[in-house]
């Protein structure tokens, strides 16, 4: 058996704690060499959770102290991702990078060129592509399935003052509605549309502190999407509905579900679908407690991590090649310019 791949995690916040730690469980052939966070107590807690060998407080200290790392996991605040990815590539490390990968399309090309020069793999963590319900939707609709006619996305987020992390409260500065809160959902929308769409309509409500709402109509050929994103809502939820040429479906999250809609969708049909979804979630949740199964929300990360390790070993392709991320970054950059610079 080959030697385990040595890796370090940069950023020890909630995403790593709740998603990465369970996702690495059951994956063989990777050893957490170090963790890194400027919050030393958080880094020490993560060291214990991952059974990592070393703790560092800066990316400079980490790369100097661990010159033989195989790859780096970047899970810091989104506006730092491209800079840390660049440093890791220059140090000879493959990279797994949490969302958002970058804020600008030009940076994607720059980092891809840098990775190619060093013969390294960069894999953005677009874990929603690997969730079972998203896979079901992408196989049922779009390329090879029922042609998509329209996608509706509705997202609601809780007030920023309820958030515990200070940088998240600076929504306008970091464009968080687009580049954090709705990032994965917009990725699924553009995958269903099949290409980066044009923006036909955009309406934005914003204050000096945050963007309250973004409503848009997108078009890619004869396919359209309606996007309705609203922050500062009294309740938090995400709903996505797909209309194809021969069928419609509901794509649901928290807990995850995918339901093909009947010709007449009644409260009874929706109730039965919700019951099945909750039961499946409950069974998996119960099985995850003694370690018999992964928590549902970590499955996408687990599948992506396995694919990434295979690619690093030369046994497979990059599960999220940078070319597949460019349409989303292109869309976000255009929406972001209109929503944050012109409003």
| 16 within 8 A of 52, measured Cβ to Cβ | no
Helix (H, G, I), strand (E, B) or coil at 95: strand
Distances (CA, A) of 249 to 141, 148, 155, 196, 299: 9, 11, 17, 22, 22
Per-residue confidence (pLDDT) for residue 162, from 0 to 100 = 64
Q: How many CB atoms lie within 10 A of CB 185?
A: 20
What is the pLDDT, as a whole number, of residue 290? 60
**Range scoring the smallest mean pLDDT among 36-45, 171-180, 312-321, 322-331:** 171-180
How far is 341 from 169, CA to CA, in rounded Å?
18
CB 331 within 8 A of CB 291: no
- Measured in degrees and rounded to the nearest 5, phi and psi for residue 85 equal -60, -45
d(CA 42, CA 171): 23
**What is the rounded CA–CA span in Å between residue 213 and residue 232?**
9
The answer to whether residue 342 scores a pLDDT higher than 90 is no
Give, rounded to a whole angstrom, the gap between the first and last alpha carbons of the chain.
Answer: 57
Q: Which of 34, 74, 68 is nearest to 54 (CA)?
A: 34
Q: Distance between CA atoms of 255 and 247, rounded to whole angstroms?
A: 23
Distance CA 7, CA 128 (A): 23
**Look-up of token digits 């309250």:** 212
Q: pLDDT (tens digit, 9 = 90+) per residue, 112-153?
A: 999 999 999 999 999 999 999 999 999 999 777 899 999 999
Q: What is the pLDDT of residue 163?
A: 66
pLDDT at 248: 95
Closest CA to 175 of 186, 190, 188: 186
Helix (H) or strand (E) holding 281: helix 267-288
The predicted pLDDT at position 295 comes to: 84
**Three-state DSSP state, 34:** strand
What is the band of 103 on the pLDDT scale with cuts at 50, 70, 90? very high
pLDDT band at 264 (very low <50, low <70, confident <90, very high): confident
Look at 103-112, 141-150, 236-245 and tell me which has the smallest mean pLDDT.
141-150
59-68, 211-220, 270-279, 301-310: least confidently modelled range:
270-279
Q: Is the pLDDT of residue 61 over 90?
A: yes
Q: Which residue would you say has higher pLDDT here, 289 or 135? A: 135
CA angle 150, 109, 339 (to 5 degrees): 50
Phi, psi torsion values for 292, nearest 5 degrees: -80, -20
- How many CA atoms are closer than 13 Å to the CA of 76, on its beta-carbon side? 21
Q: Give mean pLDDT, residues 66-80.
A: 96
| Closest among 193, 228, 231, 225 to 211, alpha carbons compared | 231
């Amino acid at each position: 058996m080959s030697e385990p791949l040595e890796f370090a995690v940069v950023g020890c916040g909630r995403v790593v704690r709740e998603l990465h730690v369970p996702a690495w469980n059951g994956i063989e052939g990777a050893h957490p060499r170090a963790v890194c966070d400027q919050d030393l107590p958080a880094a020490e807690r993560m060291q214990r959770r991952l059974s990592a060998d070393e703790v560092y407080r800066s990316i400079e200290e980490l790369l100097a102290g661990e010159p033989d790392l195989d790859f780096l996991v970047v899970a810091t605040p989104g506006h730092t991702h491209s800079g840390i990815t660049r440093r890791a590539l220059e140090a000879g490390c493959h990279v797994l990078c949490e969302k958002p990968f970058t804020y600008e399309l030009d940076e994607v090309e720059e980092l891809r060129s840098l990775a190619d020069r060093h013969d390294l793999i960069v894999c953005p963590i677009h874990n929603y592509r690997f969730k079972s319900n998203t896979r079901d939707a992408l196989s049922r609709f779009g390329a090879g399935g029922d042609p998509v006619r329209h996608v509706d996305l509705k997202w609601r987020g809780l007030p920023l003052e309820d958030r515990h992390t200070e940088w998240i409260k600076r929504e306008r500065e970091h464009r968080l509605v687009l580049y954090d809160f709705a990032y994965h959902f917009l990725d699924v929308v553009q995958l269903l549309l099949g290409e980066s769409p044009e923006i036909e309509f955009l309406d934005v409500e914003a204050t000096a502190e945050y963007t309250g709402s973004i409503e848009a109509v997108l078009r890619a050929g004869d396919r359209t999407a309606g996007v309705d994103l609203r922050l500062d809502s009294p309740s938090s939820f995400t709903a996505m509905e797909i209309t194809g040429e021969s069928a419609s479906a509901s794509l649901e999250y928290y807990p995850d579900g995918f339901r093909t809609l009947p010709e007449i969708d009644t409260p009874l049909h929706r109730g039965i679908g919700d019951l099945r979804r909750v039961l499946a979630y409950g069974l998996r949740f119960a099985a995850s407690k003694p370690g018999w199964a992964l928590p549902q929300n970590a499955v996408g990360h687990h599948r992506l991590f396995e694919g990434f390790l295979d690619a690093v070993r030369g046994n497979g392709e990059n599960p999220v090649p940078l070319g597949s991320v460019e349409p989303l970054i292109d869309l976000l950059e255009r929406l972001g310019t209109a929503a944050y610079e012109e409003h």
